[in-house]
Every structure is written in C-alpha cells, then in structure tokens.
Amino acid sequence: MSALKQSDEGGMGYLETGMSKLVTVYLPLAVFLFVLLFPFYWMAITTFKGKDELYDYERYSPFWVSNPTFENIRKLLFDTSYPEWLWNTMLVAVVATFLSLAASVFAAYAIERLRFQGSKGVGMAIFLAYLIPPSILFIPLATMVFKLGLFDTRLALILTYPTFLIPFCTWLLMGYFRTIPFELEECALIDGASRWQILTKIILPLAVPGLISAGIFAFTLSWNEFIYALTFISSSENKTVPVGVLTELVEGDVYHWGSLMAGALFGSLPVAILYSFFVEYYVAGLTGAVKE
C-alpha cells in the first residue's frame, strides 16, 4: 500500500489516475479555461441581445439570449463606418506585413548567412529595436508624420508599423535560417549558384514554415496596433477597427453596449479565424521569439 502511494506521488504522469488527477489537474484547468474564455462568451451573447433584454437581469437570465436579434449588427454595419474600418485595418495590416516580411528576409539572411563584418552587432541591434515600445515613439513619430504631410492617411500607418514588425520578423527568421544546414548552401556555391539563387531557390523554400509564422504574427500585430492609429488618424473614414470602435461607438455618456460588443466580436473574428488555421505556426512564432 505504501509503495503504491509512493509511486502515486511520483512525477510520471501516466501513474496519476482517478480522483487525484481530477482535483489537481482537470479542476484547475477548467477554472483557467472558464476565466480565459468567459469574456468572449459575454461578448458574443451581448452582441445578440435586444435593448430590453440587455439591461433586464430580473426577467431574463443574463447568461443566455432569450430573443436573439441582429439589430446591433445591423446598426454597426449600416449606421456606422465599421465596414470602412475593417477594410482599412485589412489593407494596412496586409501591406505592412508584406513590406516587413520582404525587408526581414533579406536582413535575416544577411545577418545569419552572409556574416558580413559587424553582423553580430547588427543582430543585437535588431533585438534591441524590438524592445523599444511604441508608447515612447508615438510623439516624435507624430511630429514626423505631420511634417511629411502623411497625417490622417493610411500610408502613415503602413510606414510606421514596420518599426515593430521588422525587428520581430527578422529575429524570428534569423532563428529559422539557423536551422537550415550550411552544407546545402556550400553545395550550391560549388555548383556555381549566385547568392540570389541560393536565397530564392534553396533558403526560401525551406523557410516557408518560418515565413508563415512571421507573416501571420506580423498580420496579427498590425491588426492589434492601437496607439499609432489613434494618434495619426483623425477622420472617421481612415480609422482602423480598434480605434473606430473605441472612439466612434461611444457617444458621450451613452454606451451602446450591444453595438460595442458587436464591433469587438467582428474585429476579433478575422484574427481568430486566421489563428484557427495556423495554430501551430502561431505557437512556433511565439515560442521561437523568446527562445533565442
């Protein structure tokens, strides 16, 4: 009996069974999941609640929708500029991602594989650049954007988002390129391939998973960006989703919780859907960025 108990307390998971595992593993895990996911549930059901139901917790259970309505969504899509915000966010995120990815591939290849003089220092500088937060850059960037005549344009966002995307993507791709064996390149060099051919014909095809990781991560970061979009954009038709929802859907002291939640839901869905297709790449990108 005591020997059995001893092994029960051991570290090997397969020896843990029954009640103890239920209480020590599944119960806390369920609580974690409930807390982490409840806000999304709350967001979703509020979206479909009508006005009377939204504020009446006595007659209707707040945890369920009794009379689902599309009124909030209709209002969001037809009475506000929400479709334009979605389009702006999409456009800025896609263009900034491709720009940054292209610049990062060359930079990462140069640092990791060409090993030019000072490449170690440049690699370190890229990492430090990633640590510089947007919240200390937005004021000087705002004055620059204004001087360049880019204030209130989407181009201002397309040009400034790479400041956090390039360091991140380059750092991620550097780690990825490191895993591709040197011998492949040496063979190609001996066969007379140029550096350009090596990059496009050998390295890039092998780095596709890394490129996907960096790409979808960059897209998500652009989609989530807030402070630059809040500072550099003033007119409603140029706003992105996060800024538009927060600044345009709140009128004075009146909070239209229904349409606010609908705005949050539809702003979250595109990244959530993208995420659901590329979960493994996300995890690889996330852990790859901190591992090095």
For another protein, which is the closer residue by CB, 35 or 205? Answer: 35
257 Cβ neighbours under 8 A, 6+ residues apart: 46, 54
For another protein, which is the closer residue by CB, 237 or 280? Answer: 280
For another protein, which is the closer residue by CB, 69 or 224? Answer: 224
Minimum CB separation of residue 181 from another protein in Å reads: 19
**255: enclosing H helix or E strand:** strand 254-255
Minimum CB separation of residue 237 from another protein in Å reads: 19
For another protein, which is the closer residue by CB, 13 or 252? Answer: 13
Minimum CB separation of residue 229 from another protein in Å reads: 10
Q: Write the DSSP assignment of 115-137 as a string of letters.
A: --TTHHHHHHHHHHHHHS-GGGT
Intra-chain end-to-end CA distance of the chain, in Å: 47
Q: Write the DSSP assignment of 174-191 as a string of letters.
A: HHHHHTS-HHHHHHHHHT
Minimum CB separation of residue 69 from another protein in Å reads: 17
For another protein, which is the closer residue by CB, 11 or 252? Answer: 11
For another protein, which is the closer residue by CB, 114 or 208? Answer: 114
Cβ–Cβ under 8 Å, residues 165 and 100:
yes
**Nearest residue to 254 (alpha-carbon basis) of 65, 51, 41, 68:** 51
Minimum CB separation of residue 271 from another protein in Å reads: 6
Minimum CB separation of residue 28 from another protein in Å reads: 6
Structure tokens at 9: 């307390």
For another protein, which is the closer residue by CB, 50 or 62? Answer: 62
For another protein, which is the closer residue by CB, 69 or 138? Answer: 138
139, amino acid identity: I
292 Cβ neighbours under 8 A, 6+ residues apart: 171, 174, 175
8, amino acid identity: D
Minimum CB separation of residue 179 from another protein in Å reads: 15
Cβ–Cβ under 8 Å, residues 260 and 242:
no
Minimum CB separation of residue 128 from another protein in Å reads: 10
DSSP H helices, the chain, are 2-8, 18-21, 27-47, 51-54, 71-79, 82-109, 119-131, 138-147, 154-160, 162-178, 182-190, 195-197, 204-206, 208-224, 227-232, 241-248, 257-277, 279-291
